[in-house]
Structure 1
Amino acid sequence: MTGAADGPVPAARPRLAVAADPTPAQFAQWLTDLAFGGAGWPVLLARLAEATGRDCRLVAETGELLATSDSTSGSTVVDPGALRGDRVRCADGWLGRSVPVGSGSRRLGVLLLAEPVGTGQLDYARAAVTALLIEAVRREPPQPSAPVGADGLLRALRDGTGDRSPAGQADLVRAAAAYRWRLDRPHAAVALGYTGTQRRRWASALTWLDRPVLADGRLGWTLLQGDAEREVARLRGRLEQIVGAGQVRVAGGRSVTGPAATPDSFRDARLLLRLLLRNSPAAEPAELPFERAGLAQLLLAVPSDRLRWYVDRHLGPIAQRDDLLRTLDHWLATGGSRQAVSEQLHLHRNSVGYRVGLIKRLLGVDPLDPSTAAVLRTALVARELLIVAADGG
């Protein structure tokens, strides 16, 4: 076997029609998502073959065939020495362009794309490397112990300070597996908050959970998988058995796949927990999984400057009047019940009427008009998110 000799050219595979050709970066992200979702090498190579119109093979450093986009099978398909060339000929005469598959100290082998190969096709092949490495890590035997401690792992995932390289991301997946967390499957961050005074009891309660928790004063951070709403409720119930009822707040972030997206889930959980903690200790709800966050589910993804513009545009004249903002919030929530707002805010009915009249004059709208009510409700939630985002506690 030689590495660069010419030979018969395999027939090109028909290219699948797509709505729009992805860039190599978009293709890399798509394949990575597939890998984290459980797609194995054959599926990943099939998607690469569809994108490039060329068959492909994944070959280990030993020359062993690991996977292929077609029906080829066999053990040793190439002399290991030939893998150092740009073009590699296999034992069956198949000729492919070589792309190294590795990162850092981790070396898997090479990805071969059937010749002839153009520059654009080669870019797609290089874009597939990360996804192939993710599957390689999945196939590695379980480690006897965690590469990093639970606190360090949770802190890296929460703060996004882990190694962003493919090898670094793969190490996070492997480290999390030691604690029964599958980062390559859907998972969500959880933020735990304590409103009581017995801090030592709270710290002890966190250690009694069935998972590692990163403790930070009155706060705690962990991960969950499975039914998010049920798990959030279960965690709160378990903690309140130890610290007392009504003293725990639990919020969950969005469900994500892959360690690169986990910091986003922690950010969601942190902001939703702060929303809960802004309420009085006896206020409901005491838990807020992302799935029940309502408008906040959408607004968490909106940049702060856009939220600020929206709040200024629709609440500007009363933005500095907490009394009017609270009145507006309750007025919308009760459908304009003066009696209900009076009882909730401990105001005389006439005071409620005066405040509502002032709100109408300053904003120039009727808050109960259906379209206006939706805008104002969105602006109120956006304002709350801006406040908690600015709060570093």
Structure 2
Amino acid sequence: MPGEISTGDDELLTILRLLAEGATAGQLEALLQRVRREGRHGPEQLARIESVVQLAREVSLATARSHQREAGLVALIDTARDLSAPVDLDGLLPLIARWGRRLLHFDMTYITLPDDEGMYVRCSEGSTTALNTGLRIVGGRGLGAQAMRCRAPLWTADYSEDGSIAHSDTIDGVVEKEGLRALMAVPLLQNGEAVGVLYGADRRVRHYTPDEIGLICSLADIAAEAIGRVEQLQRAREQLAELKSDGARVRTRLARLGQISATYRRIMDLLIDGTDLGVLVDTAAAALDSTLQIRDMAGHVMAAGGEIADVDEDALNEAALEAYTCGGPVRAGDRAWVTPVTAGKEGLGALVLCPAAELLGEDVWLLRTVAQVFALQLVMERSAAVAKGPVRDELLEELLSLPTGAPVPRQIIQRATRLGIDLDKPHVLLVVRPEGGEPKRAGGWASSYVFRVNGLKMIDNGRLVLIVPGTDASATARAVADELSPLLGNPVSVGAAGPQTSAAEAGRMYREAVRCLDALTALDGVGGVASAQDLGFLGLLLSDDHDVDGFIESVLGPVLDYDTDRTTELIATLEQYFAAGSSPTNAAERLHVHPNTVARRIERITELLGTRWNEPERALEVQLALRLRRARQVLYARRNS
């Protein structure tokens, strides 16, 4: 058995046999002590044996160190194999800390990584408190910060007592809580740059050997390479994800471009087929998944694909100005886009778009293209209007030359029908006088306008004469003035007449509209609009038919109806009120009633006619209507007497 010594053996051979059998230093020492006790050898022989034992001890220690290094290298190979498996830092760093603790039998290991604020503890192994992981180390202090700066391992047998280290209160607090004494910090180097620090710590004073330091440095090198590999893999995954995302975006854009191309072809086909503006707007709105309007230069809606609600008109106007300046789509608030519609340098209008979702680059391109298509449509319409302008001028001249009430010749009706005009529907007549600007520009606008609304026009002594569909002469006149004035850069004055449903009334309406325009001029109303209804009793005088009943009804209708329904005497009270100089007391004496009764009747009249009925201008119309009504009653009574 190893360690047993036969008295017949030579001591030197026994030492060699023990060494060959892997005897420990203790067994060799035991042999030496035994030889000394036996006293069988002289001094020289004993010294020789002692020298051999010492050499055997050194050989045994060298063999042990070799075995330890061999075991460390084997463990390092196993470590390298394990570290090749994780695919992210969350899996790799705890494995590095675990192998570091196992290789050098540390009580605790942890890893710190740098960030913008300093260093922080990413993971730990063997800790007994919750103070370690996530701990932030700032100020460049502590053993790890020094190791990173010098790019070499540093260690201390007793951290708390080592004054050569730049201590940190944060680190010292953890060291105290964990009961640590010995501490080693090894930088993780990639291409000479430190990307982190691996720490090993013991809860006892420990002097680390060169072999141990070399082993942990080898682990740090393998760990740094593994971290670099994982980071590269992470970057590759991110790049792959970005490429996939880019590919998806490209496929989406290609699909969208295909849709846009198909939409563009469809819009162009509709344009070539002569489709009207409304269909083009509906098609473009559907393609852009949006609500779309085309507006003229004055901001009036010419055609719409859906209703745009809750849009700030001021923001739209500002965006339109900016769009004309930059020549492209401009945001208007949070919901709308505005795109100029231009032909060369001439502004024709603007597109207002409210998309259901955020516009992509392709959508903005389509919006620009649609604006160009609409510009082409408007130019074509204007060209067609100009081409048909003489025909419309001649037709209107013939209508105005007809005697009032005379039958309209069938040829005129047929020509109007061929132009798409139905004169049996309600229409109004406008006489428009530009107060400045270019006459040709006004004539071009008039040709385009009547073509768009299915009307007729002519030019008479620098004034535009228009017959257009409508039921409210005043509203139509205001709309025309609002559209034409910005185009000319000057106001326009408009006299209006109608509505009528007979072409035979065109001459009468023309004369009435001219008188209203003359009245505007005489009353210093240049730049305004007016119809006979707008001019009150002046309109009664200017009108050909002198519609007295209509005037009385428009002024006194609510009071007359109230008297008829309730058998009251509000009209009589009004007559006596004005006859008494607008004095309720004197009116009460004339009516033989109490003044309070008159006061209550006046309150009722105010409710029916409005609070301004007694103001001078309105009171004049009320008195005129009362006098006309009284005169009509007297004449009617005499005629039937």
Length-normalised TM-score, structure 2:
0.23
RCO higher in structure (CA 8 A, sep ≥6) = 1
- Structure with higher helix content: 2
Length-normalised TM-score, structure 1:
0.36
Larger gyration radius, structure 1 or structure 2: 2
